Amino acid sequence: MNKFIGYGLGLRTVHYQHVLEHRPDVDWFEVHSENFMVAGGKPKYNLHAIREHYPLVLHGVSMSIGSTDPLDFDYLKKLKTLVAEVQPEWISDHFCWTSVGKVNSHDLLPMPYNEEAIQHLVDRISQVQDFMGRQVLFENVSSYLTYKNSEMEEWEFISEIVKRSDCKILLDINNIYVSSRNHGYSPHEFMKHIDPSCVQQFHLAGHEDCGEYVIDTHDHDVPDPVWELYADALKHFGLVSTMIERDDNIPEFVELQAEMNHAKEIAKTVPPQAA
Amino acid sequence: MFNLSELQHEFMNHLLDKKSVIAKNVMEQNGVPVSTRLGIYGNAYKVRLKSSIENDHEILGIYLGDDLFDLMAAGYTASQPSQFTSLRDFCEYLPEYLRKTEPFSATPIIAEIAEFERNLLFAFDAGNAKRSTIEDLTSLPQEQWPTMKLRFHPSMQIHKTHWNSVPSWQALKAEKIPPQQEKLDAYWLIWRNYNRITEFRSLAMDEYVMLNGFLHGGNFADICELLLEYHTEEEVAVNAITHLTSWLEIGIISTFQ
Ligand SMILES: [Fe+2]
């Protein structure tokens, strides 16, 4: 059974003060690992101050686990140091690649869904989990294109990697919605094929609907179609630790808290033994 | 068909606006053209890097204005693809780019403003360390003074300018009109204070010489020797102690050795 730690929010710099002063009723916070891979000063001070009062999970964007460049052990060492400092509930990154030829795109770029990529990811995830001495969560990304050399659906690809590497899934409900619109598949089909015992965390977020396609921007409130999909996800997966991801156009803390509480309310309607 | 490595290199070439055949490996879906799909990634790449420059170089952005800023962002992004794990470091080479690239190089204050902002950022998240106090200094036995060396707080830096870049930065920060570019040979002390806030102030020549001497491993006797160029023999010790005291007050001395 996956550990359930309740409902959380992404911790953003503009909200540090509010969180430290008001100690809002939030079960846990997710922080971006890279923001704290610095030597010292205010970022680390605030992180430790908040950690004194809340559980944390570390979410990274730079592991580049799918890249054909060698694994970046400097990065992994920094991550390991941060893990020792912060003692997070768990750590996560994405099923994607971000850099190649030593150039970093600073974006979560899609993998082709084929056997070569599966084996590549399984090898590297195993190395990372060995190095970190723990299971790592990987998140499904929003994507805007399908490669001609993909041989399977995204959910088959993810399920196979999870089975072979024994990693966990951070399931981003918004990313499923975004990708389903961009590629014309059913988001329910995606979820139906994911083993609930592998899903450790949910992300909820907003996006920009451009009509013909949808862009994952994290700068809007969680929209109705994502709330609906979340309700369906709860029926299939049961209770899963859930957080609201907001990276841009960041509102007052209380607004994010209200969104988080909305997620909590929706979850109350789901029978506990659903999964 | 592409193997994984070829696919990634071709994709990266596309992001970097180099010749790329990645489009051959992208499906036409739902009536959204391949070029639109690849364009989403190409655009996101440029927007993300540009907003990272905006974040870290806010005052430089105001100094340049929108058009020149856009020109700089596009030029720098094209000439210095990120080799860094974190976006925090993306602008590492921006001052150098501005020093060497037209039209920015013609106005040298621009590169100096960028460099000043890099140094402020460095002080912001440099390592933590103990800070010595006046009591620590007074408890040092008299006979150890001549051989005393200093270690500074990791956030402490000396910023050297040839132009009035710092006064211009200050004016813009206060939402005032900056002065015209003019020559200004000056030294600035940058550090993170006890409350973790980045501060800076100008350095008098004798204070700069003294700091620089300690930074290069000199001891108190060596430094007093250097100060003879600025003060009489009787005044040297008093002046040196005045500076030491002020450094202890602002917390830039980590340890005495
Ligand atoms: Fe996400």
Q: What is the ipTM, given to two decimal places?
A: 0.95
Q: Give pLDDT tens digits for A203-242.
A: 999 999 998 899 988 888 999 999 999 999 999 999 999 9
Which pLDDT does position B82 carry in this prediction? 96
Residues of A in contact with B9 (CB under 8 A): 100-101
pLDDT band at A2 (very low <50, low <70, confident <90, very high): confident
- Which residues in chain B have their CB less than 8 angstroms from residue A62's CB? 85-86
Say if A63 falls within a structural domain: yes
Answer whether residue A272 is part of any domain: no
pLDDT for A144 equals 96
pLDDT attached to residue A274: 47
Q: How large is the C-alpha radius of gyration of chain B?
A: 25
Q: How far apart (Å, rounded) are the C-alpha atoms in residues A112 and A97?
A: 11
Residue A273 lies in a domain: no
Q: What is the pLDDT of residue A275?
A: 44
Average pLDDT value for residue range A80-102: 97
Residues of chain B short of pLDDT 70, as ranges, are: none
B42 vs chain A: nearest CA distance in angstroms?
Answer: 10
Is the pTM value of this prediction over 0.90? yes
Q: How far away is chain B from the Cα of A17, in angstroms, using its nearest Cα? A: 14
Q: For an interface test with A, which of B86, B157, B193 has the most A Cβ atoms less than 10 Å from its Cβ?
A: B86
How many C-beta atoms surround the C-beta of residue B228 within 10 A?
A: 11
Mutate to test the interface with B, among A16, A33, A48, A104 (most CBs of B within 10 A): A104
CA distance A24 to A261: 12
Domains in chain B with CATH codes: 128-257 (3.90.930.50)
Neighbours of A137 (CB within 10 A): 21
Establish if A108 belongs to a structural domain. Answer: yes
pLDDT at B115: 98
- Cβ contact (<8 Å) for A182 and B44? no
Residue A179 located in a structural domain: yes
Which positions in chain B touch A120 (Cβ < 8 Å)?
A: 4
pLDDT of residue A55 exceeding 50, the answer is: yes
* 3-class SS of residue A238: coil
The DSSP output letter for A36 is: G
CATH number at residue A86: 3.20.20.150
Write out pLDDT tens, residues A153-205. Answer: 999 999 999 999 999 999 999 999 999 999 999 999 999 999 999 999 999 99
Mean pLDDT of chain A, nearest integer: 95
pLDDT at A60 > cutoff 60: yes
Give the domain extent around A31.
7-267
- Asked whether the predicted pLDDT for residue A147 surpasses 50, the reply is yes
Question: What is the band of A1 on the pLDDT scale with cuts at 50, 70, 90?
Answer: low
B82 chain-A contacts, CB cut-off 8 A:
103-106
Number of structural domains found in chain A: 1
Whole-number Å distance, alpha carbon B17 to ligand 1 midpoint, is 28
Those residues with Cβ within 8 angstroms of residue A114's Cβ, 6 or more apart along the chain or in another chain: A149, A150, A151, A152
Q: Which residues lie closer than 8 Å to B11 by C-beta, 6 or more apart? A: A100, A109, B20, B22, B41
Write out the residues surrounding ion ligand 1, Cβ under 5 A.
Answer: A 172, 203
Vertex A241 angle, CA A213 and A194, to 5°: 55
